[in-house]
Amino acid sequence: MSALEIVHTHEYDEAVRRRDAGFEPVECAFGQYGSVLGPLCLDHHGTESHREGVALRACRDLYGARASDPRFVVTGTPDADAVLAIVALAGLVPRERLRPEFYELVDRHDVDPIGLDMLESGPGEELAWFNQRSELFQTEAGFHKAIGHMVDLLRRGLDDETRRQVHKMELNRRKKALGGIVALYDLQDRALPLPADPASQPLRRGAAAHAGPGVVLLVKSTVWGFDQWYRLAPVVVSYAERMAKTTAGCPDVETAEALFGRGGLMNVWPALGRGWGGRATIGGSPRGVRQRVSDAEATAHVLVRTLASRASPRSSPSAP
Ligand SMILES: [Mn+2]
């Protein structure tokens, strides 16, 4: 078997050149430019969102499809979905090591992570372990490192002590995420006191989206915490200091559309300024434009006002 070759690029044109040279693109989505697809059509973002996730298809249908020519072009972060897809396509572990309980969970977590408690199942702990690995950068080295971790995980599994550590780190992440809350706003744009035990609140999605006085939550956190933040409000504005980036999200398409109309947050991006964009459920500030926490706060207020202007008399607490 020839050696595994990964090319990481931030450029659409480079991904096209590599694809044309015989590399298989895996999740090569470039926002507004669209997706670079190879013969196996391995993407499920944007215009390709009608397709199933890449790890799911690679493990279930395409095992070893690139084993004799394992050259891949990638972009973005070495997440579990892309990495597991590469492992399966290149046949880096025996087929029986790719268990449906695991790759189906990787797929579910990739597509809709909110409301999924990783500590409730063995495969969940395994995925949490992978996600807890550090230095999985957006580089070729980052991908190679992540692939190494995935291969180890699939070959050896986790012992009891490692599973205990996974629990400890995951509970710590949740605590840290809730510690990053800056402000919770109601429909009148007033900052509200936080509930005493946010971790025990139900997720504010579907019917529960309108359940509380809080509508928009502003956070500044060093960890990913949307699964916790959506317990306080159905709209979350997250400021990431290290990246100087603001992200706004809703827990799912249904909730986003109930709040902002058909298309969800797609209706809101133009109001947030030039270059803002994303999907119906999540998106962010323009690439290459540094945000300050005050910008994120302003974004939260725009979202509150948008919600207030859309609120029907039935759902508005201020209505007579
Ligand atoms: Mn994916």
CA 311 vs CA 151, 215, 259, 305, 315: distances in Å: 50, 11, 8, 10, 6
Q: What percent of the chain has pLDDT over 90?
A: 80
Half-sphere CA count of 238, side-chain side, radius 13 A? 28
DSSP secondary-structure letter at 3? P
Q: Write the DSSP assignment of 80-102 as a string of letters.
A: HHHHHHHHHHTT-S-GGGS-HHH
What is the average per-residue pLDDT within 222-238? Answer: 96
Give tens-digit pLDDT for 76-108.
899 999 999 999 999 999 999 999 999 999 999
Measured in Å, residue 44 CA sits from the centre of ligand 1 at 6
SS3 annotation, 121-161: CHHHHHHHHHHHCCCCCCCHHHHHHHHHHHHHHHHHCCCHH
Measured in Å, residue 109 CA sits from the centre of ligand 1 at 9
The confidence band for 33, taking pLDDT boundaries of 50, 70 and 90, is confident
Measured in Å, residue 75 CA sits from the centre of ligand 1 at 12
Give tens-digit pLDDT for 285-300.
987 889 999 999 999 9
> Cα angle at 271 between 265 and 274, to 5 degrees?
105
Measured in Å, residue 53 CA sits from the centre of ligand 1 at 6
Residue 154 near residue 93, CB atoms below 8 Å: yes
Task: Supply the pLDDT for residue 96.
Answer: 98
> Cα angle at 84 between 80 and 89, to 5 degrees?
155
Global pTM value: 0.86
User: What is the edge-to-edge ordering of all strands in the sheet holding 5-8?
Assistant: 5-8, 71-74, 24-25
Residue 173: both structure tokens together: 């992440």
Task: Supply the pLDDT for residue 320.
Answer: 40
Measured in Å, residue 84 CA sits from the centre of ligand 1 at 10
What is the average per-residue pLDDT within 166-173? Answer: 97
- Domain parsing of the chain, residue ranges: 5-158, 180-310
Measured in Å, residue 307 CA sits from the centre of ligand 1 at 30
- Annotation: CATH topology of 180-310: Diaminopimelate Epimerase; Chain A, domain 1 (3.10.310)
Measured in Å, residue 249 CA sits from the centre of ligand 1 at 18
Task: Supply the pLDDT for residue 316.
Answer: 45
CA 78 – CA 155 distance, rounded (Å): 19
CA 219 – CA 217 distance, rounded (Å): 6
List the beta strands (DSSP E) in 214-281: 214-220, 235-240, 245-249, 277-278
CA 61 vs CA 80, 89, 151: distances in Å: 18, 10, 19
CA 21 – CA 182 distance, rounded (Å): 49
What is the average per-residue pLDDT within 139-157? Answer: 97
Please give the backbone phi and psi of residue 189, each rounded to the nearest 5 degrees, phi first. 70, 25
CA 14 – CA 104 distance, rounded (Å): 31
